[in-house]
Amino acid sequence: GWDHEEYFGTVGRSMYTLLQCMTLDSWSSRVARHVIANQWWMAGFWVVFLVLSTFGILNIVVSVIVEHMLNAAKSNKKRMQVREERQRRMELESIRDIFKIADDDGSGDLSRAEFRQAVLNKEVQWRMRQLDLPLSDAERLFDAIDGDGDKDLSIGEFIKGCAKLKGPAQSKDLLAVQAQADMLAKNMDTLMDSLEASERMMNVLDELTNRINQRFGPSVVGSRRRIAHNVGG
């Protein structure tokens, strides 16, 4: 028969038996069935014990794993932020170096001619490739960076424009479109100013015409009448 002393004879044996049941290692055939056969009311104990122990341990294990993963994700995020910040500083420094190399006269402003000449420099080309900046069309690149269309780039404008240009082609195209839109808006403002000036000139001419008519109109009418009378007479 089933020897209960082997499984529950001492406190140590009882704890070991319950540990075996927690691992679900032959818990039903070797332990639970025999206990319930002798004491049927222990069936409720086994249900509660197994539910609490197995699911409780499972929840503890899962929570430990999740906490570890969250901590690892936080640590990895911080490392990524530090790495991105370091990379950003290096990129900004490289852009400043490009500006310094291109600014031949040291005026603090970069002209189109200076930029066109700088793009031919091997070091500038290497730095621009590292920054993923387009090298094929210096004129278009200059126009894309020169958002205000004043044909000169300050160091702040150059850094800001290069930072926006860096990356996928869509960003570069969008920045070029934005630059063209800014130039178009500026041209539209100039056109509106010209139209307003033309309108003012037309008003002046209308006023001058009215004054001439008021002053010389009666004389002209009288002359026409005399001419008509002489021709008719």
Query: Around Cβ 148, how many Cβ atoms within 10 Å?
Result: 13
Q: What share of the chain is helix, strand, coil (3-state, %, to 5)?
A: 80, 5, 15
- In which residue ranges of the chain is pLDDT below 50? 170
226 falls within a domain: no
32 shares a domain with 76 = yes
Identify the domain containing residue 99 by its residue range. 82-185
113 shares a domain with 53 = no
CA-based R_g, the chain, Å: 45
Q: Residue 153 belongs to a domain with what CATH number?
A: 1.10.238.10
220 falls within a domain: no
What is the reported pLDDT for 82? 86
215 falls within a domain: no
114 shares a domain with 44 = no
169 shares a domain with 125 = yes
Q: Residue 56 belongs to a domain with what CATH number?
A: 1.10.287.70
133 shares a domain with 62 = no
91 shares a domain with 40 = no
15 shares a domain with 64 = yes
Q: Which ranges in 103-168 belong to alpha helices (H)?
A: 112-118, 122-130, 138-145, 155-165
24 falls within a domain: yes
224 falls within a domain: no
Sign of CA dihedral 141, 143, 148, 149: positive
What is the reported pLDDT for 67? 92
Residue type for position 145: I
Question: How is 156-168 classified by DSSP, letter by letter?
Answer: HHHHHHHHHHSS-
What is the reported pLDDT for 69? 92
**Alpha carbon distance 165, 120 (integer Å):** 19
Angle CA 179–174–148, to nearest 5: 15
Number of domains in the chain: 2
The last residue of one of the domains, among 81, 98, 120, is 81
b/e map 8-23, b = 16+ CB within 10 Å: beeeeeeeebeeebbe
What is the reported pLDDT for 170? 47
Burial of 215 (0-12, 13-18, 19+ CB in 10 A): exposed
212 falls within a domain: no
94 shares a domain with 76 = no
pLDDT 10s digits, 7-50: 777 888 888 778 777 777 777 777 777 788 777 888 888 888 88
